[in-house]
Amino acid sequence: VLLGEITAGAMIAASIVMSRALAPIERATGAWRGLVAARQARANLKELFAGVESRGGEHVSLPRPEGSLSFENVFYLPPGLEHPVLSGIDLEIEPGENCAVVGPSGAGKSTLCRLAVGAWQPTRGHVRLGGADVYDWDPEELGPHIGYLPQLVDLLPGTVGQNIARFQALNSEAVIRAAKLAGIHELVLSLPDGYETEIALHSRRISLGQRQRLALARSLYGNPALVVLDEPNANMDEAGDRAMIEVLTRLKKLGTTVIIVTHHVSMMSCSDKVLVLKEGAIAAFGPRDQVIRPVRPVETKPATQAQPVTGSLQPAMAVRGKRHPTAE
Protein backbone atom coordinates (compact mmCIF):
# COMPACT_ATOMS: atom_id res chain seq x y z
CA VAL A 1 0.00 0.00 0.00
CA LEU A 2 2.91 2.32 0.95
CA LEU A 3 4.58 1.66 -2.39
CA GLY A 4 1.26 2.00 -4.12
CA GLU A 5 1.28 -1.57 -5.45
CA ILE A 6 -2.13 -2.48 -4.00
CA THR A 7 -5.03 -0.49 -2.65
CA ALA A 8 -5.95 -0.22 1.05
CA GLY A 9 -9.11 -2.19 0.28
CA ALA A 10 -7.05 -5.05 -1.17
CA MET A 11 -5.00 -5.11 2.04
CA ILE A 12 -8.13 -5.45 4.19
CA ALA A 13 -9.49 -8.12 1.86
CA ALA A 14 -6.18 -10.06 2.07
CA SER A 15 -6.31 -9.90 5.84
CA ILE A 16 -9.89 -11.29 5.88
CA VAL A 17 -9.01 -14.09 3.43
CA MET A 18 -5.94 -15.00 5.53
CA SER A 19 -7.97 -15.28 8.75
CA ARG A 20 -10.58 -17.43 6.96
CA ALA A 21 -7.86 -19.69 5.60
CA LEU A 22 -6.28 -20.19 9.01
CA ALA A 23 -9.55 -20.65 10.91
CA PRO A 24 -9.67 -24.47 10.52
CA ILE A 25 -6.11 -24.79 11.80
CA GLU A 26 -6.95 -22.62 14.82
CA ARG A 27 -10.04 -24.73 15.50
CA ALA A 28 -8.02 -27.92 15.20
CA THR A 29 -5.50 -26.79 17.79
CA GLY A 30 -8.38 -25.80 20.10
CA ALA A 31 -9.99 -29.23 19.71
CA TRP A 32 -6.73 -31.14 20.07
CA ARG A 33 -7.43 -32.24 23.65
CA GLY A 34 -10.79 -33.68 22.60
CA LEU A 35 -9.18 -35.46 19.66
CA VAL A 36 -6.55 -37.08 21.86
CA ALA A 37 -9.20 -38.16 24.40
CA ALA A 38 -11.36 -39.65 21.61
CA ARG A 39 -8.40 -41.61 20.24
CA GLN A 40 -7.66 -42.97 23.71
CA ALA A 41 -11.32 -43.90 24.25
CA ARG A 42 -11.40 -45.73 20.89
CA ALA A 43 -8.26 -47.68 21.84
CA ASN A 44 -9.87 -48.60 25.21
CA LEU A 45 -13.03 -49.84 23.51
CA LYS A 46 -11.04 -51.90 21.01
CA GLU A 47 -9.11 -53.50 23.86
CA LEU A 48 -12.29 -54.15 25.84
CA PHE A 49 -14.13 -55.82 22.96
CA ALA A 50 -11.10 -57.76 21.70
CA GLY A 51 -11.98 -60.67 24.01
CA VAL A 52 -15.68 -60.72 23.14
CA GLU A 53 -16.55 -63.24 20.50
CA SER A 54 -19.46 -62.68 18.20
CA ARG A 55 -22.22 -65.18 18.87
CA GLY A 56 -24.03 -64.38 15.62
CA GLY A 57 -24.24 -66.41 12.44
CA GLU A 58 -26.19 -69.47 11.39
CA HIS A 59 -26.57 -72.18 13.99
CA VAL A 60 -28.76 -75.09 14.98
CA SER A 61 -31.43 -74.05 17.49
CA LEU A 62 -31.71 -76.28 20.52
CA PRO A 63 -35.09 -77.56 21.75
CA ARG A 64 -36.53 -76.68 25.17
CA PRO A 65 -34.19 -78.21 27.80
CA GLU A 66 -35.64 -80.69 30.29
CA GLY A 67 -34.32 -78.78 33.27
CA SER A 68 -31.33 -80.71 34.60
CA LEU A 69 -28.65 -78.27 35.78
CA SER A 70 -25.05 -79.19 36.37
CA PHE A 71 -21.97 -77.28 37.45
CA GLU A 72 -18.80 -79.01 36.29
CA ASN A 73 -15.78 -77.96 38.34
CA VAL A 74 -16.70 -74.28 37.98
CA PHE A 75 -14.27 -71.53 38.96
CA TYR A 76 -15.11 -67.85 38.74
CA LEU A 77 -12.44 -65.19 39.06
CA PRO A 78 -13.68 -61.64 38.37
CA PRO A 79 -11.29 -59.51 36.30
CA GLY A 80 -8.74 -57.76 38.51
CA LEU A 81 -9.28 -60.01 41.53
CA GLU A 82 -6.68 -62.42 42.90
CA HIS A 83 -8.93 -64.90 44.66
CA PRO A 84 -11.75 -66.72 42.92
CA VAL A 85 -15.27 -65.88 44.09
CA LEU A 86 -16.29 -69.47 43.36
CA SER A 87 -13.99 -72.45 43.16
CA GLY A 88 -14.43 -76.14 42.40
CA ILE A 89 -18.22 -76.02 42.22
CA ASP A 90 -19.35 -79.46 41.13
CA LEU A 91 -23.00 -80.36 41.51
CA GLU A 92 -25.98 -81.80 39.75
CA ILE A 93 -29.66 -80.88 40.03
CA GLU A 94 -32.22 -83.17 38.40
CA PRO A 95 -35.14 -81.85 36.31
CA GLY A 96 -37.97 -80.62 38.54
CA GLU A 97 -35.85 -80.49 41.68
CA ASN A 98 -35.80 -77.55 44.04
CA CYS A 99 -32.36 -76.66 45.40
CA ALA A 100 -31.97 -74.16 48.21
CA VAL A 101 -28.68 -72.24 48.37
CA VAL A 102 -27.59 -70.93 51.76
CA GLY A 103 -24.44 -69.40 53.11
CA PRO A 104 -23.06 -66.27 54.75
CA SER A 105 -22.96 -62.90 53.02
CA GLY A 106 -20.28 -62.77 50.34
CA ALA A 107 -20.13 -66.57 50.02
CA GLY A 108 -20.81 -66.34 46.27
CA LYS A 109 -24.52 -67.21 46.16
CA SER A 110 -25.49 -64.42 43.75
CA THR A 111 -22.44 -65.19 41.60
CA LEU A 112 -23.60 -68.82 41.39
CA CYS A 113 -27.04 -67.57 40.24
CA ARG A 114 -25.53 -65.38 37.51
CA LEU A 115 -23.45 -68.29 36.26
CA ALA A 116 -26.52 -70.59 36.35
CA VAL A 117 -28.49 -68.28 34.04
CA GLY A 118 -25.59 -67.79 31.63
CA ALA A 119 -25.20 -64.08 32.41
CA TRP A 120 -21.55 -64.55 33.37
CA GLN A 121 -19.01 -66.94 31.90
CA PRO A 122 -17.15 -69.24 34.30
CA THR A 123 -13.38 -68.68 34.26
CA ARG A 124 -13.04 -72.47 34.20
CA GLY A 125 -15.56 -75.31 33.97
CA HIS A 126 -19.05 -75.48 32.53
CA VAL A 127 -22.60 -74.82 33.63
CA ARG A 128 -25.00 -77.01 31.67
CA LEU A 129 -28.77 -76.86 31.36
CA GLY A 130 -30.17 -80.04 29.83
CA GLY A 131 -26.60 -80.96 28.87
CA ALA A 132 -25.83 -77.77 26.88
CA ASP A 133 -23.49 -75.03 28.11
CA VAL A 134 -25.66 -72.05 29.08
CA TYR A 135 -23.04 -69.47 28.17
CA ASP A 136 -22.66 -70.84 24.62
CA TRP A 137 -26.41 -70.87 24.09
CA ASP A 138 -27.78 -68.01 21.97
CA PRO A 139 -29.09 -65.63 24.70
CA GLU A 140 -32.19 -64.81 22.63
CA GLU A 141 -33.09 -68.50 22.49
CA LEU A 142 -32.07 -69.39 26.03
CA GLY A 143 -34.01 -66.50 27.62
CA PRO A 144 -37.52 -68.00 27.38
CA HIS A 145 -36.32 -71.24 29.03
CA ILE A 146 -34.92 -69.43 32.07
CA GLY A 147 -36.48 -67.29 34.77
CA TYR A 148 -34.21 -65.12 36.91
CA LEU A 149 -35.17 -62.98 39.85
CA PRO A 150 -32.08 -60.94 40.76
CA GLN A 151 -31.31 -59.91 44.33
CA LEU A 152 -31.68 -56.24 43.37
CA VAL A 153 -34.91 -56.03 41.43
CA ASP A 154 -34.70 -53.92 38.29
CA LEU A 155 -38.07 -53.25 36.67
CA LEU A 156 -37.83 -51.17 33.51
CA PRO A 157 -39.85 -48.11 32.50
CA GLY A 158 -43.04 -49.42 30.90
CA THR A 159 -46.34 -50.92 32.02
CA VAL A 160 -46.71 -53.72 34.56
CA GLY A 161 -47.88 -56.01 31.74
CA GLN A 162 -44.87 -55.18 29.56
CA ASN A 163 -42.50 -55.84 32.44
CA ILE A 164 -44.06 -59.23 33.19
CA ALA A 165 -43.92 -60.11 29.46
CA ARG A 166 -40.22 -59.16 29.42
CA PHE A 167 -41.02 -56.53 26.75
CA GLN A 168 -41.84 -59.24 24.20
CA ALA A 169 -44.98 -59.03 22.06
CA LEU A 170 -47.80 -58.83 24.65
CA ASN A 171 -49.54 -62.16 25.12
CA SER A 172 -52.28 -61.35 27.64
CA GLU A 173 -52.98 -64.98 28.45
CA ALA A 174 -49.32 -65.70 29.25
CA VAL A 175 -48.99 -62.49 31.32
CA ILE A 176 -52.01 -63.38 33.44
CA ARG A 177 -50.85 -66.99 33.78
CA ALA A 178 -47.45 -65.77 35.08
CA ALA A 179 -49.14 -63.28 37.43
CA LYS A 180 -51.41 -65.99 38.82
CA LEU A 181 -48.50 -68.40 39.17
CA ALA A 182 -46.65 -65.73 41.15
CA GLY A 183 -49.84 -65.06 43.15
CA ILE A 184 -50.00 -61.36 42.22
CA HIS A 185 -53.00 -61.20 39.85
CA GLU A 186 -55.19 -59.59 42.54
CA LEU A 187 -52.36 -57.27 43.60
CA VAL A 188 -51.95 -56.05 40.00
CA LEU A 189 -55.71 -55.49 39.64
CA SER A 190 -55.63 -53.34 42.78
CA LEU A 191 -53.03 -51.01 41.24
CA PRO A 192 -54.38 -47.70 39.81
CA ASP A 193 -54.42 -48.89 36.18
CA GLY A 194 -54.12 -52.65 36.68
CA TYR A 195 -51.81 -54.25 34.14
CA GLU A 196 -51.48 -50.89 32.36
CA THR A 197 -49.97 -49.15 35.42
CA GLU A 198 -46.87 -47.32 34.28
CA ILE A 199 -43.67 -48.10 36.14
CA ALA A 200 -41.26 -45.16 36.16
CA LEU A 201 -37.61 -45.62 37.04
CA HIS A 202 -37.72 -44.16 40.55
CA SER A 203 -41.44 -44.12 41.13
CA ARG A 204 -42.75 -44.78 44.63
CA ARG A 205 -46.14 -45.84 43.33
CA ILE A 206 -45.08 -49.44 43.63
CA SER A 207 -43.43 -50.54 46.84
CA LEU A 208 -40.20 -52.54 47.03
CA GLY A 209 -42.06 -55.71 48.06
CA GLN A 210 -44.54 -55.23 45.21
CA ARG A 211 -41.68 -54.69 42.75
CA GLN A 212 -40.10 -57.92 43.94
CA ARG A 213 -43.33 -59.83 43.40
CA LEU A 214 -43.79 -58.29 39.92
CA ALA A 215 -40.23 -59.34 39.09
CA LEU A 216 -41.13 -62.82 40.36
CA ALA A 217 -44.02 -62.94 37.86
CA ARG A 218 -41.60 -61.78 35.13
CA SER A 219 -39.24 -64.64 36.00
CA LEU A 220 -42.12 -67.15 35.69
CA TYR A 221 -43.34 -65.75 32.35
CA GLY A 222 -43.56 -68.35 29.59
CA ASN A 223 -43.23 -71.33 31.95
CA PRO A 224 -39.41 -71.61 31.93
CA ALA A 225 -37.61 -74.90 32.55
CA LEU A 226 -35.27 -73.36 35.14
CA VAL A 227 -36.13 -70.63 37.64
CA VAL A 228 -33.37 -68.97 39.66
CA LEU A 229 -34.58 -66.88 42.60
CA ASP A 230 -31.96 -64.80 44.42
CA GLU A 231 -33.40 -64.03 47.88
CA PRO A 232 -36.96 -63.62 46.56
CA ASN A 233 -38.42 -62.75 49.96
CA ALA A 234 -35.84 -60.19 51.07
CA ASN A 235 -38.41 -57.35 51.10
CA MET A 236 -41.52 -59.38 51.87
CA ASP A 237 -43.67 -59.57 54.96
CA GLU A 238 -45.05 -62.77 56.50
CA ALA A 239 -47.93 -62.91 54.00
CA GLY A 240 -45.37 -62.55 51.21
CA ASP A 241 -43.39 -65.43 52.67
CA ARG A 242 -46.48 -67.64 52.73
CA ALA A 243 -47.30 -66.64 49.14
CA MET A 244 -43.72 -67.51 48.17
CA ILE A 245 -44.07 -71.02 49.62
CA GLU A 246 -47.27 -71.45 47.58
CA VAL A 247 -45.42 -70.34 44.43
CA LEU A 248 -42.69 -72.89 45.12
CA THR A 249 -45.33 -75.59 45.60
CA ARG A 250 -46.93 -74.69 42.25
CA LEU A 251 -43.54 -74.79 40.51
CA LYS A 252 -42.91 -78.21 42.04
CA LYS A 253 -46.18 -79.47 40.54
CA LEU A 254 -45.25 -78.00 37.14
CA GLY A 255 -41.92 -79.84 37.25
CA THR A 256 -39.85 -76.64 37.06
CA THR A 257 -36.27 -76.83 38.27
CA VAL A 258 -35.78 -74.17 40.96
CA ILE A 259 -32.69 -72.67 42.56
CA ILE A 260 -33.58 -70.46 45.50
CA VAL A 261 -31.13 -68.44 47.58
CA THR A 262 -32.66 -67.92 50.98
CA HIS A 263 -31.91 -67.26 54.61
CA HIS A 264 -35.24 -68.72 55.78
CA VAL A 265 -35.59 -72.37 56.71
CA SER A 266 -39.33 -72.08 55.96
CA MET A 267 -38.49 -71.53 52.26
CA MET A 268 -36.88 -74.96 52.17
CA SER A 269 -40.14 -76.84 52.73
CA CYS A 270 -40.23 -77.65 48.98
CA SER A 271 -36.50 -78.19 48.60
CA ASP A 272 -35.15 -81.55 47.52
CA LYS A 273 -31.54 -80.50 47.87
CA VAL A 274 -29.62 -77.93 49.87
CA LEU A 275 -26.32 -76.36 48.89
CA VAL A 276 -24.28 -74.68 51.60
CA LEU A 277 -21.69 -72.27 50.21
CA LYS A 278 -18.84 -70.91 52.26
CA GLU A 279 -16.10 -68.63 50.96
CA GLY A 280 -16.88 -69.61 47.38
CA ALA A 281 -16.68 -73.35 47.93
CA ILE A 282 -19.20 -76.09 48.64
CA ALA A 283 -19.40 -76.71 52.38
CA ALA A 284 -22.24 -79.21 52.02
CA PHE A 285 -24.51 -80.37 49.23
CA GLY A 286 -27.06 -83.13 49.17
CA PRO A 287 -30.63 -84.11 49.94
CA ARG A 288 -32.24 -81.53 52.25
CA ASP A 289 -32.88 -83.92 55.11
CA GLN A 290 -29.24 -84.98 55.20
CA VAL A 291 -27.77 -81.49 54.95
CA ILE A 292 -30.07 -79.80 57.46
CA ARG A 293 -30.69 -82.85 59.60
CA PRO A 294 -30.84 -80.99 62.95
CA VAL A 295 -33.96 -79.15 61.73
CA ARG A 296 -35.96 -82.37 61.76
CA PRO A 297 -37.79 -82.65 65.06
CA VAL A 298 -37.59 -86.47 64.76
CA GLU A 299 -33.85 -86.38 65.43
CA THR A 300 -33.82 -86.20 69.21
CA LYS A 301 -30.38 -85.50 70.57
CA PRO A 302 -29.43 -85.00 74.22
CA ALA A 303 -30.75 -81.63 75.36
CA THR A 304 -27.25 -80.23 75.82
CA GLN A 305 -26.39 -80.76 72.15
CA ALA A 306 -29.73 -79.86 70.62
CA GLN A 307 -29.97 -76.43 69.04
CA PRO A 308 -33.02 -74.22 68.72
CA VAL A 309 -34.06 -74.72 65.15
CA THR A 310 -37.07 -72.74 64.08
CA GLY A 311 -36.62 -69.94 61.56
CA SER A 312 -32.84 -69.95 61.66
CA LEU A 313 -30.10 -71.14 59.39
CA GLN A 314 -27.87 -72.10 62.28
CA PRO A 315 -28.48 -75.84 61.77
CA ALA A 316 -27.52 -75.64 58.10
CA MET A 317 -24.38 -73.75 58.91
CA ALA A 318 -23.51 -76.22 61.66
CA VAL A 319 -22.84 -78.87 59.02
CA ARG A 320 -20.67 -76.68 56.87
CA GLY A 321 -17.66 -78.84 57.59
CA LYS A 322 -19.33 -81.83 56.00
CA ARG A 323 -17.85 -82.88 52.69
CA HIS A 324 -19.62 -82.64 49.40
CA PRO A 325 -20.98 -86.21 48.84
CA THR A 326 -19.97 -86.39 45.16
CA ALA A 327 -16.45 -85.32 46.09
CA GLU A 328 -16.26 -88.30 48.38
Ligand X SMILES: Nc1ncnc2c1ncn2[C@@H]1O[C@H](COP(=O)(O)OP(=O)(O)OP(=O)(O)O)[C@@H](O)[C@H]1O
Chain residues binding ligand X by CB under 6 A are: 78, 81, 85, 103, 105-111, 151
In the list Mg ion, ligand X, none, the entry touching 111 (Cβ below 5 to 8 angstroms by class) is ligand X
> Which of Mg ion, ligand X, none sits in contact with 288, Cβ below 5 to 8 A by type?
none
Rounded to a whole number of angstroms, the distance between the first and last alpha carbons of the chain is 102
Binding-site partner at residue 85 among ligand X, Mg ion, none, CB < 5 to 8 Å by type: ligand X
Shortest Å, Cβ 276 to ligand X: 11
Q: Which does 78 bind (CB under 5 to 8 A by kind): ligand X, Mg ion, none?
A: ligand X
107 contact, one of Mg ion, ligand X, none, CB 5-8 Å limit per kind: ligand X
Residue 152: CB minimum distance to Mg ion, A: 9
What single-letter DSSP state applies at residue 157? S
Angle among Cα 9, 10, 14 to the nearest 5 degrees reads 120
Q: Report the partner that residue 105 touches, choosing among ligand X, Mg ion, none (CB closer than 5 to 8 A by kind).
A: ligand X
Give me the least distance between CB of 58 and ligand X, in Å please. Answer: 33
Alpha helices by DSSP H, listed for the chain, are 8-30, 32-50, 109-116, 139-142, 160-164, 172-181, 185-189, 208-220, 238-254, 288-291, 314-318
Query: Residue 276's beta-bridge partner residues?
Result: 102, 284
Nearer to ligand X, 109 or 145 (CB): 109
Interacting residue ranges for Mg ion, rule: CB under 5 A: 109-110, 151
d(CA 164, CA 218): 4
Residue length of the chain: 328
Identity of the residue, 187 or 316, whose beta carbon is nearer to ligand X in the bound complex: 316
Residue showing the smallest CB distance to Mg ion in the complex = 110
**CA–CA separation, 178 and 217 (whole Å):** 5
CB of 82 to ligand X, least distance (A): 11
Which residue lies nearer to ligand X by CB, 37 or 208?
Answer: 208
Whose CA is closest to 218, among 261, 155, 138? Answer: 155
Using the minimum distance from each CB to ligand X, give the nearer residue, 85 or 276.
85
- Shorter beta-carbon distance to Mg ion: residue 113 or 187: 113
Residue 189 Cβ, how far from Mg ion at the closest point, in Å? 32
Pick between residue 187 and residue 227 the one whose CB is nearest to Mg ion: 227
Instruction: Round to whole Å and give the CA distance between 13 and 21.
Output: 12
Please enumerate in sequence order all residues whose Cβ is within 8 A of that of 279, keeping only pairs 6 or more positions apart, or say none.
Answer: 107, 108
